[in-house]
Amino acid sequence: MLDIKFVRTNPDAVKENIKKKFQNEKLPLVDQVLELDQRNRDIKQEVEALRAEKNKISKQIGACMAQGKKEEAEELKAQVQKNASRIESLSVEEKEVEAQIRKNMMIIPNIIDSSVPIGKDDNENVEIEKFGEPVVPDFEIPYHTEIMERFNGIDLEAAGKVAGNGFYYLMGDIARLHSSVISYARDFMIDRGFTYCVPPFMIRSNVVTGVMSFAEMDAMMYKIEGEDLYLIGTSEHSMIGKFIDTLLEENKLPQTLTSYSPCFRKEKGAHGIEERGIYRIHQFEKQEMIVVCKPEESMKWYDVLWKNTVDLFRSLDIPVRTLECCSGDLADLKVKSCDVEAWSPRQKKYFEVGSCSNLGDAQARRLGIRVKGENGKYFAHTLNNTVAAPPRMLIAFLENNLQEDGSVRIPEVLRPYMGGKEKIERK
């Protein structure tokens, strides 16, 4: 959410930003906000004038009563009552106007960074850099569920009976591999100085609307019937929500946290080959990282975060690349974002396994996350990034570590989590 003062003084910049995001239908919101903001200030000015007049008349009433001018005093009292009624009416209108301003401001997108490429959708995202040499082996790489089935490691049929499409049972070595990746990702981030946290897996609606746009909420979140609770789509929601309505000491920044959680997503509109497996699912587990920092440090932390994910995947011998998200692919709260994509030997292309985002002060402004510094109070900046999200990570892992004899090699860094195994073999 933008600062109303910024919108007031830079309406053309706000409109140009909307155009860059190809959301022209939102352009009228800017003028609506400006009109409502002017009305809000007029109301406050009138209320202030009426209260000043009330104080003045009250003194006159006292003087009249002292002089025995009862009729004149009664007339003045009637004027006070009239002013009080007007103040009450204006106060009701003021609340309505401020609510509408906030509603519109929650829809107007954040100002994107000047470095963000302009494009309509993810087809216009820009490759930044590749890490590791993508290899296509001489032997055939089966579809990921076929690899898992060879290890008796997945049961989609039973999961379909129990929960429906978009769910799965992981079994045996594949389930252990899944847990090992999560545990390794946890320790990897702890070793990089992040504080480990297990957050609540449900959050209230005020936190939901604080961390994401309405469009994202509708597409992602599962609501708990009869309660003001939502299942989280990522632990970032809980982790940023941890700081709601707080005033942080500047010398306590940055706050760097890494968190584990299950994640629940509707995945509206999901289609294609990804649905035939575990690429796009309703439930998965993830290791996440978030940062709460001073505004001038957020871009530095942005680079630190995505590099952490790249380093993690490379330590598991998985080639990756980074893609700069274009303006049309950025969620409304984001200032800048990039995807980390892993190499798929089977598809001979990269696919998304994580996303790093700088949200500026958008989430902090919505949630009331402020910092107390030497020069006063200000809103913090927030960032988030995926460390590892099995089972997508498993897809990349299995394809890139599959051997010709059907076994899967375990990279050295993961062996302690797999009981020392150097490979897992077909059943």
Contact criterion met (CB below 8 Å) for 377 and 368: no
Residues facing 350 on adjacent strands: 343
Task: Give the global pTM.
Answer: 0.90
Q: Which ranges constitute the DSSP H helices of 247-319? A: 298-315
Strand pairing report for 369-373 and 246-249: parallel
Give me the tens of pLDDT residue by residue for the chain, a chain 427 residues long: 899 999 999 999 999 999 999 999 999 999 999 999 999 999 999 999 988 888 888 788 777 777 778 778 778 888 888 888 889 999 999 999 999 999 999 999 999 999 999 999 999 999 999 999 999 999 999 999 999 999 999 999 999 999 998 899 999 999 999 999 999 999 999 999 999 999 999 999 999 999 988 777 878 899 999 999 999 999 999 999 999 999 999 999 999 999 999 999 987 655 555 556 788 889 999 999 999 999 999 999 999 999 999 999 999 999 999 999 999 999 999 999 999 999 999 999 999 999 999 999 999 999 999 999 998 999 999 999 999 998 899 999 999 999 999 999 999 999 999 999 999 998 7
Show the tokens assigned to 69: 């001018």
Task: Say whether 260 sits in a helix, a strand or coil.
Answer: strand
Angle at alpha carbon of residue 375, lines to 372 and 377, rounded to 5°? 35
Nearest to 421 by CA among 169, 141, 150, 177: 177
Give me the domains of the chain, ranges plus CATH numbers.
Answer: 4-105 (1.10.287.40), 122-424 (3.30.930.10)
DSSP conformation class of 412: G
Contact criterion met (CB below 8 Å) for 207 and 236: no
The pLDDT of residue 275 is 52
Cα 117 vs. chain centroid, distance in angstroms?
20
The pLDDT of residue 84 is 86
